[in-house]
Amino acid sequence: MSQIPSIPGGDGAAAETRPAPALSPELVAALAKAGADGALRTLARPLYWLYERWLDRSLDRTVMPRHIGLILDGNRRFARRNGLDVRHGHQFGVRKLKTFLAWCLEFGVKHVTLFVFSTENFKRAPAEVQYLLDLFVRESAQLLDDLRLDTEKVRVKIIGQRDRLPPKVLAASDALELSTAAHKGTLLTIALAYGGREEIVDAVKGLLTEAAGKGASLASVAEALTAEQLSAHLYTAGQPDPDFIIRTSGEQRLSGFLLWQAAYSELYFCDALWPKFRRIDFLRALRDYQQRERRFGG
């Protein structure tokens, strides 16, 4: 059995040697793996840096998506896998959102739409819903102080069913929109209390209400209705449809995100949970986009 080395005693004599505590084979294996993983991460860091630089240089800055949509998924799973409270997962997710916006600005993306809170999210535990809405209010105030909004002239727009949001969230939304209304740079659209089906229903209601106000009959509206007319009543009216939609966490579905607008969007699904989404993942997504041939249904 291995021995702990003797250490000098206070009187100059060697202290009594004691047997080292036995370690289970499972613990030894776990420690060995952890050490190996740590060593591999250390060794791989320069390689990742070189790979990131190569990816960056391989991208054509003239063939970037004009509009990127993001379904940020995986905050709760990230928290659980790391033994954290779910709230901490959402906090990490917010940090990553700020980084993601910086990446989009770096590559000249003119429209960024973030799916941050769906109408289905209201079905979660009341405490979590309240926390998420409070988090939006807090982060909105911080975003107002973010110098990038001014230096990059970022304009913020909030879309969704506003009538389902509490007054303090509406006030925070209005403050963001009003303070950036004159900006002509990238448009940052935040989908809050948003559902794709609800958006289409609201668009139809808006179109019919407008037609009724002009004295048009239902029959005449139905006969003359076009896709362009309906698009003009969507929350995103006036914006280009998303060229590229990224979803994290490995899930491969839209979950109601921009259902009408995504008809010809290129979709990209990344296995990384949202808080773990790296710049390398973003660059890979852009490379994938540039390697596709967009057909728009043709």
Which residues are the active-site residues?
73, 121
244-247 and 67-71 as β-strands: parallel, antiparallel, unpaired?
parallel
Nearest alpha-carbon partner for 267 in 279, 258, 276, 280: 258
What is the identity of the amino acid at 225? Answer: L
**Site of tokens 């229903």:** 201
153 close to 134: Cβ distance less than 8 angstroms: no
- What span, in angstroms and rounded, lies between the C-alpha atoms of 7 and 16? 8
282 close to 103: Cβ distance less than 8 angstroms: yes
CB neighbours of 132 closer than 8 A, spacing ≥ 6?
90, 117, 121
Query: What is the side-by-side strand order in the sheet with 244-247?
Result: 155-159, 187-194, 111-118, 67-71, 244-247, 266-269
